Amino acid sequence: MEYTNLLLEKSGPIAVLTINRPKALNALNSDTLSELSTVLEELGRDSSVKVVILTGSGRKAFVAGADTSQMKGFNPLEGRCFVQLGQATFRKLELLPQPVIVAINGLALGSGCELAMSCDIRLAGENAKFSQLEMTSGLTAGFGGAQRLPRLVGTGLASELLLTGDIIDAKEAYRIGLVNQVYPLDSLMEEAQKLAKRIAGRVPAAAQLSKSALQRGTNMDLDSAQACEAKAFGLPLVLRCCAAFVE
């Protein structure tokens, strides 16, 4: 299937998904979010894809936020529907069976930062900038920023970033734990591919179960989370026993 605002390339076990609106700094509008939701469903059904890399088109921006040219015409109901579409799409990304590496190749502002936080592993180019800048326009984070940011960097730092709308660079994002690694922009995708190949080389079922246990357990009490992990640990053993029995 072809998309207007996205590019999807599959090479062996790795899929590269690119937000492709460079003239708008890859800003997210309703059409782009709808396409992203559709392509995530496609990827989730594709057992040949073991790892997904998400990035933005061009060298200036990963995603520079929501498309303000569309948002300025919203009434309150339309605004809420737009936010709900974004939340549902980002949650679908978060729950995708395959691990998702995001290569942040520039500005990750507002919903761009929230999109990056919905991925499993965040790699940033040295030119990357991060902000939940909604506060500077009299708005609030809407696509999950107020929920995911404190889970990643702690409540105190999240409060500062959310309440000021300050922009931080890639070095500071690494320092506070918002991104895993920082690379020169010219080598960012190469490093993302290297990591994706390492993950794809593991047993796919184990990778997916590990992701599921992590995602589910993060929002549980420790005892429930450990029970979830034990269940995930046992599933590959069951599959091995079944395979041995068939043989």
pTM, two decimal places: 0.88
Q: Do both 155 and 168 map to the same domain?
A: yes
Digit-coded pLDDT (tens) for 17-60: 999 999 999 999 999 999 999 999 999 999 999 999 999 999 99
118 contacts 148 by C-beta, under 8 angstroms: yes
Residue 28 tokens read as: 């997210």
Active site residue 172: no
Q: What is the pLDDT of residue 222?
A: 66
Q: Do both 180 and 194 map to the same domain?
A: yes
Catalytic residue among 9, 41, 78, 134: 134
Q: Do both 239 and 166 map to the same domain?
A: no
Residue 1 lies in a domain: no
Q: Do both 170 and 57 map to the same domain?
A: yes
Give the list of residues 6+ apart from residue 247 with CB closer than 8 angstroms, or none: none
Digit-coded pLDDT (tens) for 94-125: 999 999 999 999 999 999 999 999 999 999 99
Catalytic residue among 35, 94, 114, 160: 114
Domain membership of residue 134 as a residue range: 6-200
Helix pair 145-153, 155-164: axis angle to 10 deg: 140
- The amino acid at residue 243 is A
Q: Do both 126 and 214 map to the same domain?
A: no
Active site residue 114: yes
Q: What is the pLDDT of residue 238?
A: 44
Q: What is the pLDDT of residue 47?
A: 94
Residue 234 belongs to domain with CATH number: 1.10.12
Q: Please identify which residue in the block is written with the tokens 């931080």.
A: 168
